[in-house]
Amino acid sequence: MIYLDNAACTRLDEQVLEAMKPYFFDTYAVATSEFGYSMGIDAKEGLERAREGIASKLGANSEEIIFTSSDTESSNTALKGVAWALKEKKGKHIVVLNIEDFPVLNTAKALQKQGFDVTFLDVDAEGFADLEGLKKVITKETVLVSIQQGNQEIGTVQDLKVISEICEEKDVLLHTDATHSFTRLPLNVKEIPVDLITVSAHTIHGPRGIGALYIRKNTPINKFMDGGFQEFNMRAGVENIPGAVGFAKAVDLVTEEETRKIEAMRDRVIEKALSEISDVTLNGSREKRLPQNANLTFHYVEGESVTLHMDMKGFAVSTGSACFSRSLEASHVIRGIGGDHERAHGSVRFTFGRYNRMEDADAAIDAMNEIVTRLREISPLARK
C-alpha cells in the first residue's frame, strides 16, 4: 500500500521513538520536583531541551513555548484564553478565516455560543484571505484575529507578513494555526510578529498526543487547562516528557532537502494530472501552497468512489478533509473558495511525507487516470 493521504505524515520515525525511550525507561520521573532528586532534575532538563528545540525553530524564547496535547488543544487555548482574558478589558469580537481547520473554526463557534461576536473572513477563489476585508472588519472591540499559515485541505499559504502588519497597525492580537506548515515553511516570530502559534508533532512523523503553543511574552491569556502549575502555570497536567522529546526530535529530523523532495512529488502530481487527465481543476494556489499538498477536483466523479477504487489499487488518498470523510458533508474549504457541491465531492487530496518516492507520485496519477476514465464512462453526470 502506498500512503498519499494523512498517513503519509503520521507514521512515526524510528529515530523519534529511540529519542523517547530513555524517558520511558530511565528518566521517567515527574519533572516538577525542583527540590527533589536527580532523576526529577534530569527529566526536567530533557523537557527544557525539547522546549528549546521547538522555540528555536520559531525564533522564539523557551519561556514562550508551552507544550499541549495537540494542535486542537493549542488552538482552544489560544482562542478561548485570549477571548476570556480580554472580554471585559477590550471587547468580544474575534475574526477567523472561513476555511480554518476545525480546531479554530469550531472553537470560534463555541465562543459565539458564549456570546462572542465572530467574523468568518472570506477567501478568494484560491483560498487567500480577503485582506481589504480584514482591515474593515477589525474594530476597537476585536480581541483576536486567527488566520492559518497553510490550509489543511487545499494547501493555500497565507501572507502572514502582511496580515501581521495589518494586525499590528490595528493593535489586535494575531494567532496562526501552523499545524500543517510547521518546519515545512519558514515562520520566525522575529520577522513576522505573530502573537500565538499552534504547532503539532503528528504531522511531521512525531508522536500523537503532543503539540505546542507559542505565546509571545506579555500576551494577555487565561489558562484553558486548569489544575497543577506546570508549563509556567499556563497549562496543567503531568508533563508528557517522552512526547515533548519526541516532538523536538521530529522537528530536528525535517530537512530543507527533504522538503524540496516532497515538493517535487507534489508538483509532479499536479502537472501530470492537469496535463494527462481531462476536466481536472487544481484547488488552491499553484504557487503559494504547502510543499506536501496537492488537491485536485476530477469533475464528473465522486471523491468517495475514487478513494475506494484507489484503495483497491493500493493507493491511499483522501477526499475532503479526513474529518469530512466521516460526515460526507461537502467540504467547507472547497465551498469557501466558491466551489459547488460537485466540485467538493470530486476533490481528491494527495499528501506527501518522508516515506514517499517520486515513483509513487507517477504511479498514483496513472492509477487515477484509469479510475477516472472508467468512472466517467458509467457516470450520468459526465460529458460524453
Catalog residues that contact a second copy under the rule CB under 8 A. Answer: 1, 3, 5-7, 10-12, 14, 17, 24-25, 28-30, 32-40, 69-73, 75-76, 101-103, 106-107, 109-110, 202, 207-210, 223, 225-229, 236-243, 304, 307-308, 310-311, 316, 318, 322-323, 325-328
Look at strands 293-298 and 347-351 and give their pairing. Answer: antiparallel
Burial 15-49 (b: 16+ CB within 10 A, else e): ebeebbebbeeebebebbeeeeeeebbbbbebbee
Q: How far is the CB of 130 from a second copy (least distance, A)?
A: 24
Q: How far is the CB of 104 from a second copy (least distance, A)?
A: 8
74 CA to centre of own chain:
11
Q: How far is the CB of 100 from a second copy (least distance, A)?
A: 10
Beta strands in the chain (DSSP E): 2-3, 65-68, 93-97, 117-121, 142-146, 173-177, 196-200, 211-215, 280-282, 293-298, 315-316, 347-351
The residue among 25 and 89 lying less far from a second copy, judged by its C-beta, is 25
The residue among 75 and 158 lying less far from a second copy, judged by its C-beta, is 75
Burial 104-133 (b: 16+ CB within 10 A, else e): bbbbbeebeeeebebbbbbbeebbbbebee
Q: How far is the CB of 72 from a second copy (least distance, A)?
A: 4
Would you call 323 a catalytic residue per the annotation? yes
The residue among 288 and 354 lying less far from a second copy, judged by its C-beta, is 354
**For the chain, what is the largest distance between any 2 Cα atoms, rounded to a whole number of angstroms?**
77
The residue among 198 and 285 lying less far from a second copy, judged by its C-beta, is 198
Closest by alpha carbon to 156, among 98, 77, 196? 98
Q: How far is the CB of 64 from a second copy (least distance, A)?
A: 21
The residue among 162 and 323 lying less far from a second copy, judged by its C-beta, is 323
Inter-residue contact 209 to 10 (CB < 8 Å):
no
Per annotation, catalytic residue among 162, 323, 328, 358: 323
Q: How far apart are CA 109 and CA 197, in angstroms?
A: 20
State the catalytic residues: 323
